[in-house]
Each structure stands twice: as C-alpha cells, then as structure tokens.
Structure 1
C-alpha cells in the first residue's frame, strides 16, 4: 500500500512539472450569409413579414446608425397568393406593439388575412440577386381555452397565499395537433412566465391541462395565450431553442435551425399560419 501511495505521489509531481497549456489554431470556414425570414399569417391582420440577413458569430456588430440598414434585406419582390389573388408586399417599416415585432414588408392597409379559410397561402420572394424563397402554409382551426382554474394550497400550508393556474383545453383526437402555450403576468409587454411547444401524443380523454407553480398572488392578472400551430412551426421553434442552447455551449453539438422554406436562396426562417385564443384571469381567493 505504501508503494502505491509513493507511485501516485511521483505521478502527480511529474504532471505538475509538465507544461499542460498549448495553443491550438482552428481554421474556421468562411460564414455564408443567408436570408432570414419571419412571416406569420394572422387572421384579421395585414399581410406582413420581416426579411433580414444572418451574420457570422464573430462578425463585427453594426453601429447604431447603420443597424437597420445592415440587418434588413430590402428591394425584394414579395407576393403572397391566396384564393387566386396576389397580394404584393412593399418595402416599409412597421412595429407591432402587441407582439413587439418589426416588419419591413407589408401589403396595403385593406389587404387583411381572412378570419377563416381552408385554402393555402403561397409565398414567393425574389431577392435583388435573383435568388428565390418559396413556402406554403394554411390557417388551422382555432382551439379555445375551456377554463383556467386558480388553486391555492390548503390553509395553513407554507406559502398558502400564492396560487397556481391550471389551463384546460379540449383536443381533437382525430388529428395530430401541436400547441404553443404562453402565459404572461399582468402585461403582454413583459417576458412570458411560460412559453413552450407541445403535441397531443400523450393526451388521454381529449383533455389537455397546462399547469404552473404556486407563483401568483391575489390581484395578479394572468394572460393565457394558446396557439394551434403546424408541425413544421413546432419543429422550427424547437430547433431554434436547440440552436440557442448550443450557441452558448462550447462543448455542445451544433444544432441547425429547421425551416419550412424552399427556393434557391437557402434561407432560414418560417412562413406559417398563426391562429390563437387568449383570455385574461385575475387571481382571486374564493
């Protein structure tokens, strides 16, 4: 046993005498700048989208004076076709205070997305260099929130002044459905308390329940939003989350963003219908 300790000690001394630091140079390939698209078909809203360009991880950040000019991709020909009508989206600059999103292409003020339609929406974009972006989507049926139940712990329990919220919806068992659930506290301007994507593969008896922790006080306003989304949008959101996580982890595997865009431009992003249902509930103790 003494010999074993002695060998270990000698080994540690030998390691301490070694130079364990070594610089390694890695040749990174040149980054390919790609178009980036966010386009949501929302019932009752104008046809609009955001078209920008990506940037390399080590690229120099644009100055504030040239921020929009460097990020936005203008001078593209953009049309969305629905029910035989071509809606031309012109270059502009819009800000939606509800979603906190910026758009740089939009159709006319009276060119609104229908509230209901089974027909496809077809996107065609021709960039200034002649490359194209193409995509297609549909509006899904709205799924309503059946109820939001506020529950407090039994009186006398620790922290019995805080409540949780249980959100109930009815799922259609005859189709594969995907949902995005968002929960804001007191204002849509705040960061969401919850924001996640789920499907109905594990749903039993057609009832879906979204829960929270015991985090809300009497008087709080809970703004619950339910989006009935397509599978490609669910895949896109999950891939964006994976890419964001991998981007902050030097030891993680690369995670590509999975888009539903076609065409010659090799663009990133999403073109999808966005149908939502929202309700507000004030936390009270019955």
Structure 2
C-alpha cells in the first residue's frame, strides 16, 4: 500500500502555470514551492481470515517528493520487485487481541506470500478462529513513541447463490463469454461487498475487482455481470467478500488518491484509514468462492 502526503494544490498549480508561461517565450521565473513539514507515520495493513495464520505489513510513510534514499532511525530500505523503495521499520512490536481477550504476539519476520506475491513484515504463531460478530484488536508501537491501534468486527458470510456464463455467437478469437455472479442481500442491514474475478489460479492480480453497496438492491437477489471478455476453456473464480463500511470507505479513498496522484488540477484526496495513530487498514475478510471452467 502506498502512502502520500497531502499539500496545497494551489502551490502545485502555480508551479505548473509558471512552467507553461516560460515555454511560450524567453521569460523565466523560478519559484520555490514551500511544502509543509511532514512527520513520518507508521503504515499498517492487516487482513485477518478464519483458519489462516495472521500476517501484518508495517511500513513507514515518507514525504511525497522524497527520493527514498534517506533512512530514518530504526528503519531499513526495502526494494520491491517493481523498483519502488519503501521504509521498513525494524523496531515495531505488534500484537493481536483475540475475541477471548488473549493477546497473540506477531513476530518480526519479513517474507513474501508465494501465492499472492505480497510482502509482510510480521506473522503470528497459529491460525485464528473468526466467527461472525466477534471483535479483534490490533496494537502496534515502536520505540519512537508511535502507536497504531485498531478494531475489526467479523462480518457474516454472504454466500454466492450461483455463477453463470454465456458465449456470444461469434467464432474463433472473437468468441467470448460474459460472466454473472449472483447472491442475495440481507434486508435488515446496509451491506457492502467486494467481488473479484480471477482467470486461472487465483493470485494477486484479478481480472475484475469491484466494490458494491446494496443501495439499490437491499434485501433482494442481485447479479453482477461482466462484459464479453472470457475465452473458451478459461478457468474463472469468483470471490465474494462481505465487508464493513470502514473497509469499503478505505478502498474508495485509496482509489480516489491514486486518481488524484500526479494531476495538478485534482484536489488532494485523503486516505480514510481504519486504524488510529497512523495510516492503514485492519479488517477481517469473510468470503465465498466458486470456480468454473468455461466450455
């Protein structure tokens, strides 16, 4: 997860306009844009799942224009496969508070998930047991006084009712199918979903990834349909997550921040974190999954 610093869009706009004027003639006017001071924060990303050993990623935010070379005290640099350099704090103590009230320490042991390709920094000891309505807690703090906390409630499982597909009437490479995922929304609550479709073996990269709220189908059966995009013999897996409003808002804010990034005419977009004392997300993921081979 990437983190960004937010500053006045007017300063950036002024710089862009000065550059445009200079290109129209021989005039040159250098401007020093003063950015506000920024204090690095802990960035936490943790998704708990029933029956899975918990993993957590703790990184450190840096100013947006930072070149990634200055290493803060108690941190080391980590270079990701895409070339991105991030701050990796090494002095963070992490624990989960289980529904029973017991604490599970997560040890610092950086690694990579061979299935998703995602990095993690801390890992638990045993799989967790998560039942609908239970509450988990997160506590992460370093030796510099930074302290991140969070709580997450386990959502109820919403099962997939059916998955269907249909091919068009074309032939050869133009023969493609749409894919339909159907489920029934509870009527007594406001609900949020994340629906992912993968081709082949499910991994980090999805074919589609949609955030959905039940505003227009509360308490009713609902179907999400794709365009004609799948080929004969594709293996398609649908994963339906029932998520809470905090996780839904977090994903929306990350999407908005990415859209505004690098656009001097866009308003800066803040990340709606689900944790306190830092940046990031702490959530329990509950999902149903179906797989079919398109024949």
Range of TM-score over shorter length: 0.7 to 0.9
1:218-257 alignment to 2 at 5 Å? 218-257=232-271
Higher Cα Rg, which structure: 1
Aligned twin of 2:272: 258
SS at match of 2:229: coil
Quick one: distance in 2 between partners of 1:195 and 1:35?
27
Query: Partner residue of 1:138?
Result: 153
**Structure 1 position 282 matched with structure 2 position 277:** no
Q: Provide the aligned length of Structure 1 versus Structure 2.
A: 261
Q: How does 1:167-206 map to 2 (within 5 A)?
A: 167-189=181-203, 191-203=205-217, 206=220
Within 2, Cα distance between the matches of 1:205 and 1:89?
A: 39
> Which consecutive residues of structure 1, in runs of 5 or more, have no partner in the other structure?
1-16
- Kept after mapping to 2: 8 A contact 1:225/1:279: yes
TM-score (norm 2): 0.81
Alignment of 1:76-155 (within 5 A): 76-82=92-98, 83-108=100-125, 111-153=126-168, 155=169
1:7 paired residue number: none
Q: Taking structure 1 as reference, are residues 190 and 232 closer, same or farther at Cα in structure 2, changes over 3 Å only?
A: closer
Unmatched segments (≥5 aa) in structure 2: 1-23, 71-75, 80-84
1:11 is matched with which residue? none
Change (3 A) 1:45 1:25: same
C-alpha displacement of 1:275: 0.9
Report the secondary structure of 2:254's partner residue. Answer: helix
CA distance in 1, matches of 2:157, 2:166: 27
Is residue 207 of structure 1 aligned with residue 221 of structure 2?
yes
Query: By how many angstroms is 1:217 displaced?
Result: 1.4
* Aligned counterpart in structure 2 of residue 72 of structure 1, from 88, 107, 111: 88
Residue 103 of structure 1 deviates from its aligned partner by: 1.4
Partner of 1:13: none
